[in-house]
């Protein structure tokens, strides 16, 4: 049973994407990607911009050093360019529960095979290497696109945490929680693999 992220430099590779270790040198590429579609202006997401990228990077690396997260950048195998980022976070090695979060992609890669393959890579690692009993996904109540994408993975909605967080502007966030549990994983894996074959 894993007790930490023993390989913080781990990369996960699929047919279309590579998940590579997150580090500060990717900051400019992430900001440029977000600015292409003004994604960082969406009030219900945490997509960084020039003003916030330093804190975004610092938070990711602090979480990693605390053994609570394993952040990645998503690289297109076709172009070699950064097309998004994602993170295993809120790691609880005692109870073998993990969350997949901080996920966003450039607009051209949304609703494509990219998210399906990224989630298949991450879930395979978490369930089969870390021996997880559950993987959570959390999103803002008003982020309907994210909620639909999580449900398409095969995750089930657990509930809504009311007034779960206070954003810097004072807004009170309701958080929707989804999960996939260990005995559901074989079916979810089969479904995600099938979706990749048909996309």
Please tell me what DSSP assigns to residue 147: H
Mean pLDDT across the stretch 45-55? 83
pLDDT tier at 150, thresholds 50, 70, 90:
very high
pLDDT for 46 equals 72
From the list 193, 178, 183, 71, the residue with the least C-alpha distance to 120 is 193
pLDDT in tens, 112-133: 899 999 999 999 999 999 999 9
- C-alpha 110/C-alpha 11 separation (Å) is 22
pLDDT for 49 equals 82
CA atoms within 13 A on the CB side of 72: 27
Which tokens is 92 given? 């609880």
Q: What is the pTM of this model?
A: 0.93
Mean pLDDT across the stretch 75-90? 95
Overall CATH class of domain 12-198: alpha beta
């Amino acid at each position: 049973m894993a007790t930490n992220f023993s390989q913080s430099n781990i990369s996960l590779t699929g047919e279309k994407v590579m998940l590579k270790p997150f580090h500060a040198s990717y900051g400019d590429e992430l900001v440029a990607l977000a600015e292409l579609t003004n994604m960082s202006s969406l009030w219900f997401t945490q997509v960084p911009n020039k003003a916030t990228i330093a804190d975004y990077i610092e938070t990711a690396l602090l979480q990693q050093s605390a053994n609570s997260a394993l952040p990645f950048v998503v690289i297109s195998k076709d172009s070699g360019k950064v097309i998004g980022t994602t993170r295993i976070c809120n790691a609880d090695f005692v109870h073998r529960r993990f969350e997949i979060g901080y996920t966003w992609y450039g607009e051209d890669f949304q609703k494509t095979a990219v998210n399906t393959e990224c989630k298949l890579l991450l879930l395979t690692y978490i369930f089969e290497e870390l021996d997880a009993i559950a993987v959570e996904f959390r999103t803002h109540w008003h982020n309907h696109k994210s909620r639909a994408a999580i449900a398409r993975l095969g995750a089930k909605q657990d509930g809504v945490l009311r007034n779960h967080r206070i954003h810097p502007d004072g807004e009170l966030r309701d958080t929707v929680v989804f999960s996939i549990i260990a005995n559901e994983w074989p079916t979810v894996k089969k479904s995600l693999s099938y979706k990749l074959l048909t996309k």
